[in-house]
Amino acid sequence: MTLPDLLDWRTVRSRLQAIFPEGTPDRAFLIREATSRTVFTALYVGAVEGAERWIAPRHVVRMSDAQASRQDAGARNAYYEAINRPKAPSPPDRWYADNTREPLRDEVIRQGLVPVNAMIERAGLPTTSPLGRYALQRGFAELLDPACKDQDFDVAVAAWRARNLSPAALARAALVRASASTAAANITVHFPSGPSIVLPPGPSQQIVKAVVEVFAPKFLGDPRVVWISDSASKRPFRDAPLEHALQITLDTAELLPDIVLVDLAPPGRPGRILIVFVEAVASDGPVTQQRQSALLNLLAASPRSYPPEDAAFVTAYLDRSGDAARRTHPLLAWRSFAWFASEPDHLLQLHDATTASRKLSMLL
């Protein structure tokens, strides 16, 4: 991998003071020496969003001035690999003692860099895992490129602040972190109609919870949950009486998506129902054109012969900037929707040929 060019940690600190001006919440956590050294260490080993390299406090604790001065790729890669081993080297001139790991993790990372979107946390990692879990957000790391300076630096900082330090951006990031929690607790999903079920922990189950508790009541008139897949136990939740009333067969595990909802009173469609198929995508498995066609055939083959307009298809993600959304977006079926738990009031629609003849003003 290509490692980023480096500033020394003291220059990193001066840039942090410019990026986070007076008045920034918790600025003291963001401009201290320990924060500068943490950011430097992340850059040193290449722990930047998208590179799949992650640091832990021990990478900062065991850094030294001598190691920091060795800036060829071989030395930087060797340091990253060495610190990842169980018996990592402990140089006598290292920056910090082992008992400073908790302050680095809690004050510098969790209370400092993560809340302002400067650092991201690796999802799906158990809290007891010794693996590194933190990396610099890519846009933030670009502000620390030695080639970014003077007027270019000022412009880039202003743009980064606008994207990441506004109240809306901070709130959105907080929701993403909460939804992607790595806690080991089971997930309770409360249905709009009253009952609840418990799912095992995991990123997909967090999206399922958001779909049932947030998406369904927000975008459906009278939502009911017909089916929720549970790949961990292989026993899906199903509302058998409602399934029977709908007269559709929901027993094809290879075909059905993660969630089947039904709107018993879709606004503007009196006397009709709307069957909503939802895929919760934490890594892969969106509603593709092929999958949509197969589900439409399933509905058409039922005793009620449901027409296409009685079905809706949704691919649900945690966040539109996440890897899953970026990777699978080109696969989404036309005449389907994408919904993001981090922006629950918004819905992305992919218009197909049935609406393509409309002018733009008609779609506003």
CATH code of residue 198: 3.40.1350.80
Last residue in a domain, options 176, 195, 217 = 176
Same domain, 155 and 17: yes
The pLDDT assigned to 182 comes to 44
Domain with 105 in it: what CATH number?
1.10.10
Same domain, 244 and 122: no
Tokens of 126: 């158990």
Same domain, 166 and 194: no
Query: Average pLDDT of the chain?
Result: 87
Query: Range of 128's domain?
Result: 9-176
How far is residue 96's CA from residue 86's CA, in Å, rounded to a whole number?
A: 18
Same domain, 208 and 148: no
What contacts 76, CB < 8 A, 6 or more positions away? 3, 44, 45, 46, 70
Last residue in a domain, options 150, 176, 202 = 176
Confidence of residue 151 (pLDDT cuts 50, 70, 90): very high
Same domain, 249 and 331: yes
Last residue in a domain, options 146, 176, 206 = 176
The reply to whether 2 falls in a domain is no
Same domain, 38 and 161: yes
Same domain, 241 and 325: yes
Confidence of residue 320 (pLDDT cuts 50, 70, 90): confident
Nearest to 217 by CA among 109, 345, 335, 69: 345
On the question of pLDDT at 163 being above 90, the answer is no
Structurally, the chain folds into a number of domains equal to: 2
Same domain, 158 and 244: no
How far is residue 8's CA from residue 278's CA, in Å, rounded to a whole number?
A: 49
Average pLDDT, integer, range 322-328: 86
Read off the pLDDT of residues 232-272 as tens digits, 9 standing for 90 and up: 555 678 888 888 888 887 765 557 789 999 999 999 888 89
The reply to whether 3 falls in a domain is no
Phi and psi (nearest 5°) for 189? -110, 120
Same domain, 36 and 55: yes
Same domain, 277 and 162: no
Helices (H), the chain: 9-19, 27-31, 33-45, 57-61, 65-69, 73-84, 101-103, 138-142, 150-164, 167-179, 203-210, 216-219, 240-246, 289-300, 323-328, 353-356
Average pLDDT, integer, range 21-25: 80
How far is residue 248's CA from residue 228's CA, in Å, rounded to a whole number?
A: 15
Nearest to 286 by CA among 337, 225, 242: 337
DSSP per-residue codes, 271-297? T--EEEEEEE-SSS----HHHHHHHHH
The reply to whether 306 falls in a domain is yes
Same domain, 276 and 307: yes
The reply to whether 43 falls in a domain is yes
